[in-house]
Copies of this chain bind each other. A is one copy, B any other.
Amino acid sequence: MALIDSHRVLADLRQLARFGAYKTGVHRPTFSDDDITARHWFLTRLEEAGLKPKIDGIGNVYGLSRGEGPKILSGSHLESQNHAGWLDGALGMIFALEAARAIGEGVDVVAFADEEGHFGSFIGSRSFTGLLEEEEIDRLKNRYDGTPLRDALARVGLADVERRRVVPGQYRAFFEAHIEQGDTLETGGRKIGIVNAIVAIWQYRIVVEGEQNHAGTTSMARRRDAGLALVRLLGEIDRRFPDFAGPRTVWTTGKIALEPGAPSIVPGRAEAFFQFRDADQTVLDRLDGELRRLVEDADRGHCRVRLEVMGQSRPAKMNERLGAYIEEAAERHAPGGWLVMPSGAGHDAQYLARVMPGAMMFVPSIGGISHHWTENTSDEDIVLGAQVFCDAIEAALRASA
């Protein structure tokens, strides 16, 4: 099997972390100067590796292997969350690059633009898989500073560049490596996670309408306190959800806003962002049903309570045969040190898996931390992961079609 160059892997990762360095992490938002410098640096690395470098009209970076045989596509993303870690995305890019370098031919590399969602939702992988219309590009704006995506693309010279789109049958498989971003591997003493599915995210807005009133002169009996009704509903969700959830389900209230939000005013309106995630459609449906029942119960009280669906993605199954290649490689390099698990976070692989067999592999995150500048993985785990990943891609490439 092909051998990776562990020094080269670590050196490339450390070099990439210099673009937008922030404390021990990086701040490299999509299409920022640092992000563009990183993309150009990566294009140079691809060329050095003998791949044909390209950047397309949505900002996706490609390294296309020469030759006519079967092809595997591998990659992740280059930009980062704001003031976040050095490995989220970057690790998958350098693993893919190293696999291409080690294997020699048949591995195409791709960095999907804006996986971190500064402008939209997976615009790079959706563009490549034919799920991003021009109209959506017209509409999207940077969520932090409001810059239209069109302006950002023009600023970095991509306004008139064509977007590349995958051709059916072009690739045997898509492989993505990533840090786990949780602590399942670490607490279980494992080195490699073999992703069997990427969870679906069902995101809701809970809206409560009551009556805004003076907090001193409105008796408790007379109030229609939207904030209190929301607190009671969230308390019910907290009590009821464990009975309906699967073993790996997670649910989160990420935001609560009371209006007008003043100390001496009974809130007339309250809103929360609530989401749950699971890889099992049955569990998702069950939780949705229970949530709707709790909202209906709450709506029978003094306030009007309604549920707005903001998004209900579907679980993305990874390909079992590809998973078996990762498993064999992991067993070879770290016997017993692997685990089959779902991904609780979304990844470009969920869109790629719609048009070709997909595979994802995790390496451990120290303390389970990600989306924070302290995010890290030990050098040993990085090197082991790079070799397992390379082996699995090679196995998929060499297998009889």
Residues of A within 8 A of B (CB): 180-184, 199, 201, 203, 212-220, 222, 225, 227-228, 231-232, 234-235, 238, 242, 245, 248-258, 261-267, 273, 275, 277, 310, 343-346, 365, 368-372
Whole-angstrom CA separation of A287 from B74 in the bound complex:
61
| Chain B residues within 8 Å of A257, by CB | 256
> Least Cβ distance of A47 to chain B in Å?
34
Whether B238 pairs with A368 at a CB distance below 8 angstroms is: no
Rounded to whole angstroms, the CA-CA distance of A253 and B231 in the bound complex is 10
Indicate the member of A214, A262, A369 with the most B CB atoms within 10 Å: A214
A227→B256 contact, CB < 8 A: yes
Interchain Cβ contacts under 8 Å between A and B, 5 examples = A182-B219, A213-B368, A218-B344, A227-B253, A254-B262
- Chain B residues whose CB sits within 8 angstroms of the CB of A238 once the complex forms: 228, 231-232
Contacts of A371 in B (CB 8 A): 212-214, 265
Whole-angstrom CA separation of A220 from B181 in the bound complex: 14
Q: Is the CB of A215 within 8 A of B180?
A: no
Copies in the complex: 2
Contacting pair A219 B235 (CB below 8 A): no
A43 and B252 CA atoms in complex are apart in Å by 57
A254 touches B261 (CB 8 A): yes
In Å, the complex CA distance between A227 and B238 comes to 12
Residues of B within 8 A of A216 (CB): 181, 199, 201, 250, 277, 343-346
- Given A235-B232, A253-B258, A265-B254, the answer on whether A277 and B227 have CB atoms closer than 8 Å is no
Q: In the assembled complex, how far is the CB of residue A342 from the closest CB belonging to chain B, in whole angstroms?
A: 10
Shortest CB-to-CB span from A34 to chain B, Å, is: 21
Whether A217 touches B344, Cβ cut-off 8 Å, given contacts A231-B231, A258-B253, A258-B254, is yes
Whole-angstrom distance between the Cβ of A335 and the nearest chain B Cβ: 26
A183 to chain B, nearest CB (A): 6
Complex contacts, A235 vs chain B, CB 8 Å: 231-232, 235
Given A232-B235, A275-B264: A219 in contact with B184 (beta carbons within 8 A): yes
